[in-house]
Chains A and B, each alone.
Chain A
Amino acid sequence: MQSVIANLALLGRSTINRLAAIGRSGMLLMHAVIARPEPFNSFPLLMRQLYSVGVLSMVIIMVSGLFIGMVLALQGYTILVDYGSEQAVGQMVALSLVRELAPVVTALLFAGRAGSALTAEIGLMKTTEQLSGMEMIGVDPLRRIIAPRFWAGLISLPILTMIFSAVGIWGGLLVGVDWLGIYEGSFWANMQNSVDFFDDVVNGLIKSLVFGVVVTWVAVFQGYDSVPTSEGISQATTKTVVYSSLAVLGLDFILTALMFGDL
């Protein structure tokens, strides 16, 4: 009997803790987004974050995009050539990249490359009491630290997704046309007939915008809410990657159902 009550209390406590964490993250997001911008102060801060979050992620995004496009073209070719419709490789590569793979894979890579770095940075700031130091001298850490990182992630991810798609299609072109010898004209024509700018490209952009919000939000919150010890930082970094990856994959299904499922 005692153990049942103890277990019930444990369940209740963990539920309350979880809900409280969700509430705190919501408050953090609201403060960071609403924070009154000061153009002269916050623009250089945003610039610096765009550099570390966006520009430094560009290489990994380009390399993975290239290889994913190449693999897609190769796999598609081996199947489609049996039906004599290998010209459709361009269409297959472009549609699967623009609609699905570019937003999702970019968000996953972004969570691993930039999200974990954001969490670790903010967590270490908290551990070394830089955040409370800022508060003490009258600087709002939400505005100075959290807001620029959040906006930088939100801006960078859609741009990185576009770069991923473009490089991936180029990779598909390299393998399909230059190596396997698909006629280049029909490669592009099939692609242009099947890809619609608003239905496919813009929907992919919307997806990546949603993923940008989720991944950066999770990253800054886990850093800001981490237990201020070295162990706490490592846990927070792990949580960032796990939670944001799961959220991206789950949200992707919902968004795809809404956009392409004719619901």
Chain B
Amino acid sequence: MRIRGIELGVGVFMLVGALSLAMLAINVSGLTLSKQEGSYKIYALFENVGGLTARSKVTMSGVAIGQVTNISIDRQKLMALVEMEINADTDYLTSDSSASILTAGLLGEKYIGITTGAADDEILQQGDFIEDTQSSLVLEELIGKFLFNKASE
């Protein structure tokens, strides 16, 4: 009887531990078991990426459709080259789409927002560039412009 009590206790212990891990995985970290089935890479050149980092979100109409995978300097044009990974099921980004670097909230993280254009026939493929880009807003530059305008009035 005593051995049975011990076994029961250990069983409950293991079960509670497993339940806690499951709760941490599903409820707390939002882990989903559904695998992303493939993705393709597109690129964009920006004047200034501000605080954008790898793993930042790429969104369209506010819905996340991919993430930034790499940021480097393009050697020829001397601009920031951003590599983005877009989920394979997002196959409706037209070639005249525009990408802009946005900020979530007043002090929030930077992310890329993509707006599609009107050219229905040409869809962005693996390795394509988004031509129309808008850089991140840098507060110091804005203040500088404002002061310059004030002074010239």
Instruction: Report if A183 contacts B (CB, 8 A).
Output: no
Report A-chain residues with C-beta under 8 Å of the C-beta of B20: 159, 162-163, 165-167
Instruction: Report if A133 contacts B (CB, 8 A).
Output: no
Nearest Cβ in chain B — how far from A174, in angstroms? 15
The count of residues in chain A whose C-beta lies closer than 8 Å to any C-beta of chain B is 29
Contact with B along A56-67 (1 / 0, CB 8 A): 001000000000
Contact with B along A160-195 (1 / 0, CB 8 A): 101101110100000000000000000010011101
Contact: B27 with A54, CB < 8 Å? no
Report A-chain residues with C-beta under 8 Å of the C-beta of B24: 98, 162, 165-166, 169, 197, 201
Report B-chain residues with C-beta under 8 Å of the C-beta of A158: 17
Q: When chains A and B are docked, how far (Å) is the Cα of A102 from the Cα of B17? A: 13
Q: A51 touches which one: B10, B16, B30 (CB < 8 A)?
A: B10
Nearest Cβ in chain B — how far from A240, in angstroms? 23
Nearest Cβ in chain B — how far from A204, in angstroms? 9
Contact: B10 with A55, CB < 8 Å? yes
Q: B9 touches which one: A44, A51, A163, A165 (CB < 8 A)?
A: A51
Instruction: Report if A50 contacts B (CB, 8 A).
Output: yes
Give the contacts of B115-136 with A (CB-CB under 8 A): none
Instruction: Report if A30 contacts B (CB, 8 A).
Output: no
Contact with B along A187-223 (1 / 0, CB 8 A): 0100111011100110000000000000000000000
Report A-chain residues with C-beta under 8 Å of the C-beta of B16: 58, 159, 163
Nearest Cβ in chain B — how far from A47, in angstroms? 6
Q: When chains A and B are docked, how far (Å) is the Cα of A165 from the Cα of B3? A: 30
Instruction: Report if A101 contacts B (CB, 8 A).
Output: no
Contact: A162 with B17, CB < 8 Å? yes
B contact patch SS: helix
Report A-chain residues with C-beta under 8 Å of the C-beta of B3: 44
Q: A98 touches which one: B7, B13, B19, B28 (CB < 8 A)?
A: B28
The count of residues in chain B whose C-beta lies closer than 8 Å to any C-beta of chain A is 21
Contact: B17 with A159, CB < 8 Å? yes
Nearest Cβ in chain B — how far from A97, in angstroms? 9
Instruction: Report if B12 contacts A (CB, 8 A).
Output: yes
Instruction: Report if B29 contacts A (CB, 8 A).
Output: yes
Instruction: Report if A94 contacts B (CB, 8 A).
Output: yes
Apart from the given pairs A51-B10, A165-B24, A192-B28, 12 other A-B contacts in the complex at a CB distance below 8 Å: A47-B7, A47-B10, A51-B13, A54-B10, A54-B13, A55-B10, A98-B24, A159-B20, A166-B20, A191-B30, A195-B29, A201-B25
Complex A-B: 24 CB contacts under 8 Å: A47-B6, A47-B10, A51-B10, A54-B13, A58-B13, A58-B16, A98-B28, A156-B13, A159-B20, A160-B17, A162-B17, A165-B24, A166-B19, A166-B20, A166-B24, A191-B28, A192-B28, A192-B30, A195-B28, A195-B30, A197-B24, A200-B29, A201-B21, A201-B24
Chain A residues in contact with chain B, CB under 8 A? Answer: 44, 47-48, 50-51, 54-55, 58, 94, 98, 156, 158-160, 162-163, 165-167, 169, 188, 191-193, 195-197, 200-201
